[in-house]
Structure 1
Amino acid sequence: MLDIDTLRIAQVSVGACVFVLVYLGTYRTTRAPYAAWWSGAVLASGVGSLLYLPLDTWGVAAAAIGNAVSVFGAGLVWGAARALRNRATTLWHLFPVPLVIFAYSMAESRQDETLPGTFALLLGMCAFIALSARELWQILQTRHLRKGADAFHSARAAVLSMAVASTAAASFYGLRIVSYALAGPQSDFYLAWTGPKMTTLVVLLLLVVVTYSVTELSHFELSRQWRERANHDDLTGLLTRKAFTELAEAALSEAATSARPLVLVAADFDHFKQLNDMYGHAEGDRALHAFGEACRGVLREDDLACRMGGEEFDLLLVGTAIEDAESVCQRLNAAYVSAYSDAPENAPTVSYGVTIADPSKPWGALVARADAALYRAKELGRDRIVVDA
C-alpha cells in the first residue's frame, strides 16, 4: 500500500483539480452559494493535508494549524449543505471550533508519532460532517424532492448521493473516535482500519462523490432557472397561465383521491384602464407587482397563483374550505394595499369571485364558475368578494 505522504499528495492534487472544476466550472457559471462553500471546503482540505506532511518538515505548530484548517473545511461542508436548503451561514461563526482545536493541539504533548490534537480533530470533523448529513437528509424531505417529480429526479439523485456519502463519512469518523479512545492510536486495528491512510482514502472518495453531485446540481440549477423564467410572469413573479393550468389540473387529480378541499379564486382589478390612462403604465405595473408580492406573502406553499393576463389573476387554494376562502381574500387584499402604497385609499380596488374546485368537474367549467362569481362582484359595485352559490 502507498505510504501516507504519497496518499496526501494525491489528495492535494485531486483537490486542486476539484477546486478548479467547481469554482470555475460551477460557481462562476451559476453563482450558486453551495458551490462557493464547497470550493472553500476543497481548498481547506488540500491546505490541511499539506500541513500534515512529516513533522520534521513543517514542525508541530503546522500540524496544529492543519487540524484547525481541516475542521474549518468540514465546517464549510456544513455551510454548503445549509446553502442547498437556502439557509444562510455566517462564515465567522465557524471559526471558534477550529481555534479551540488549534489551542488544544498546541497544548497537547505526545511522545509517540501521533499528531498532537488528533482526538479533538476527530471530534470536530465528526460533528460538522454529521451536521452536514442531517441537513442533506432534511432536503430530501422537501415537497418537490419527496414526490420525485421528473424535473427534480437528477437533483434528488445528487442530494441523495451526498447524504449517503456524508453519513458514511460521519460514521467513519465516529468509528475513529471509538477506536482511538478504546484501542489507542498505536493499535493495529486503529492504524489498519481507521488511521490516517484509510482517512485519506475516505476523503478522496468524498471529494469525487460530492463534486459529481455539485456539478449535477449546477446543471439542474441552470435548467431550473430557465424553467422558472418560462413558467413565471416577469412582472408579478406569479405563474403563467399555462404553468398554472397544468399544476391546477394535477392538484385536482390528487384531490380526487385525497379529499382535500380546493377553492378557485378569480381576481380582477377595478377600472385598471383608468389607472393607466391617468397615471401611466408604470403605475399600473406597480399595482400588478404589489398584488403579486401580496400573493407570495399570504398564500401557502401548496397554493397556486397566476397572472392570467393583463390585470386578471387566478388562485387555487389547496386544503382551504369554501367558508375560509373569503377570509383569505380579505388578507390578500390587505397585503396588496399595504404593498402598493403608504396611502391605502389610493390603491386601485380588486374584485374577487370564489368557487369550490370540485375535482369531478372539468377544469374549464370551474374557471367559468369563478369568472361568473367575479362578474357578479363587478355588477354589485366592484371592490368586493362574491362566493359562488
Structure 2
Amino acid sequence: MVLDTLTLRVAFGAVALTLFLLFYFDTYRRTRSAYSFWWSAAIALFLAGSSAYLLNGTIHQIWANPLGNVLAVLGAGSVWAGARSLRTVASGATTAGTWHLTAGAAGVVTVASALDTPATNNWAGGAWFLATMALMIGLSSLELWRLPSGYTRIQRPMALAAGAVAVYYLGRCVAFIIDGPRGQVFLTVFGSAQTTLLTMMLLVVVSFSMAALSNEQVTRELRTRAIRDGLTGLLNRSGFMDLAAEEMRRLDGTGTPGALVLADLDHFKAVNDRYGHAAGDQSLRTFAAACAATIRSTDLVGRYGGEEFVLLLPGAGTVQAEVVARQISRNLEDLQASADFPLPTVSYGIAPLDGGDLNAVIAAADVALYRAKAQGRNRAVLADQPLAG
C-alpha cells in the first residue's frame, strides 16, 4: 500500500487541531500547569508546521518550507521545555536555557533551509532539520528520565517513547545524508509519509498521558505550596512538624542520634520599628538563605513562627549542632553586604533527640533558647536534657 503524504498531512492537521482544542480547553484552562502549557504550544506549533508543508509544490514553497522546518523545531523545543518544567519545583530547573538553545537551533535551521534552494527543494536544510529534531526530542527524553524515581508511574514509558522517536529522527538524518531524500532506504523506512503517520499516532496516545501528567504536576505544586513558607521558601510550621515527626521515628528505629535547633533573631522588633517591615522581611529571607547555605540535604529547616526557626539535624550530636549554628551565623554575617541595614544577630537553643517526643524536644530547645537570650543573646546554648512529654 502506498501512503499518500498530502492526505496524511491533512489528516494530521485535523487530528492535531482536535487534540489542541481538547487539551487546551479541558486540561490547560483547568490546571494552568506549566507542562500543559508547553504541550499545548507543541501541538499548535506542530500543526502550524505541518500546514506550512502543504504549500510544497506551489509558488509559496520558497518561504513555507523553511517556515515549516522552524515551526517543527520550535514544537520539539516546547516538548523539551515541558519536560524540563516537571523538575522546576524539585531542583530549580528553568526553561530559560532551554529556549536559548532552541532559538539558536531554529536560527541555524532557518539559515540552512534558506540557502538550500527552498523554492524547488522540498528537503531544504533537511540534514540540519532532522539532526535538530533528534537533539530536541532526545533532550526531552533525558529530562523525563532524570525525574526522581516514583515521580509518576508514566515517566519511564514516556521517556522511552521520546527516546525511540529521537533515535528514529537520528536514523532519518543518517539515511538522509548517506542515501539521500530519494534513496530507497530513506523512502521506505524514513519517508515523510511514514513519519507523518508515526507522529500522528504518537500525538494521540501521548496527549492522553499529558493530561494525567499535568494533573499530577498541579497536585504536586499545590502540595509543595501547602508545606512551604511563602516569605522564606523554607518549610512552614505544620510542614516541618509532619516531616520531623516522621524523621524522628526513622532515627529512633535505627538508633541514629540527632539534634534539634531553635533559632530566634535577636531584637527583631527593633529592626521592624527602625527600618520598616520590608527590612524585617529581608532579615528573615537572609537568615533562611544562611541556613540553606549551611545545612545538608538530609537536614530539615523550617520557619517555626514569626522570627523563630527550627532545624532538625539527623545523625548530629549537640556539639555538632552547635557548630552548625555558628556556621549559620557566620554565613549571615557574610550576607550583611547585601542588606542596607544591620542584620540582627541570632540566638540558638539546642536539644538532643534521644528518642523523645518531638514536642518535648522542642520544649527543651526552647528552654535552652531562653537561656541564650538571658545570657546576652547572639550565642548557642545546649539543653541539659529533653523535658518530659
TM-score between the two structures when normalised by the length of structure 1:
0.78
1:199-210 equivalences under 5 Å are 199-210=195-206
Alpha-carbon distance, 1:47 to partner: 1.8
Gaps of 5+ in 2: 88-92, 385-389
Matched, 1:44 2:45: yes
Matched, 1:176 2:172: yes
The SS at the match of 2:95 is coil
Contact 2:39 2:82 in 1 (8 A): yes
The SS at the match of 1:317 is strand
The SS at the match of 1:95 is helix
Contact 1:159 1:213 in 2 (8 A): no
Matched, 1:249 2:250: no
Q: Which amino acid aligns with 2:96?
A: T
Specify the alignment match of 1:238 in structure 2: 234
Specify the alignment match of 1:224 in structure 2: 220
Deviations 1:201-244 (A, max 9, x none): 33223323443344334323433343334323445443233321
Matched, 1:387 2:382: yes
1:237-316 equivalences under 5 Å are 237-255=233-251, 262-270=258-266, 287-288=283-284, 290-296=286-292, 298-316=294-312
Specify the alignment match of 2:139 in structure 1: 131
Contact 1:354 1:388 in 2 (8 A): yes
Contact 2:234 2:302 in 1 (8 A): yes
Specify the alignment match of 1:363 in structure 2: 358
Contact 1:266 1:312 in 2 (8 A): yes
CA RMSD of aligned residues (A): 3.7
2:78 corresponds to which of 76, 79, 94:
76
Contact 1:158 1:216 in 2 (8 A): no
Contact 2:83 2:144 in 1 (8 A): yes
Distance 1:120 1:276 in 2: 59
Contact 1:12 1:50 in 2 (8 A): yes
Q: Which amino acid aligns with 1:51?
A: A
Higher fraction of helix: 1
Specify the alignment match of 1:63 in structure 2: 65
Contact 1:306 1:314 in 2 (8 A): yes
The SS at the match of 2:348 is strand
Matched, 1:325 2:321: yes
Distance 1:286 1:64 in 2: 51
TM-score between the two structures when normalised by the length of structure 2:
0.78
Residues 324 and 211 (structure 1 numbering): CA distance in 2 closer, same or farther, change over 3 Å?
Answer: farther
Specify the alignment match of 2:90 in structure 1: none
Single out whichever of 362-371 and 280-289 deviates more from structure 2: 280-289
Q: Which amino acid aligns with 2:241?
A: T
The SS at the match of 1:157 is coil
Alpha-carbon distance, 1:247 to partner: 1.0
Distance 2:273 2:15 in 1: 64
Distance 2:113 2:280 in 1: 65
Alpha-carbon distance, 1:385 to partner: 0.5
Alpha-carbon distance, 1:190 to partner: 3.4
Gaps of 5+ in 1: none
Residues 262 and 88 (structure 1 numbering): CA distance in 2 closer, same or farther, change over 3 Å?
Answer: farther
Single out whichever of 58-67 and 192-201 deviates more from structure 2: 58-67
Q: Which amino acid aligns with 1:56?
A: G
Specify the alignment match of 2:5 in structure 1: 4
Alpha-carbon distance, 1:126 to partner: 0.9
Alpha-carbon distance, 1:128 to partner: 1.5
Deviations 1:92-112 (A, max 9, x none): 5433433333443444469x9
Q: Which amino acid aligns with 1:87?
A: T
Deviations 1:235-291 (A, max 9, x none): 544323332122113323444677876331112344667777888888766655554
Matched, 1:119 2:134: no
2:372 corresponds to which of 351, 360, 377:
377
Specify the alignment match of 1:163 in structure 2: 159
The SS at the match of 2:325 is helix
Distance 1:175 1:336 in 2: 54
Contact 2:73 2:102 in 1 (8 A): no
Distance 2:96 2:306 in 1: 40
Matched, 1:353 2:367: no
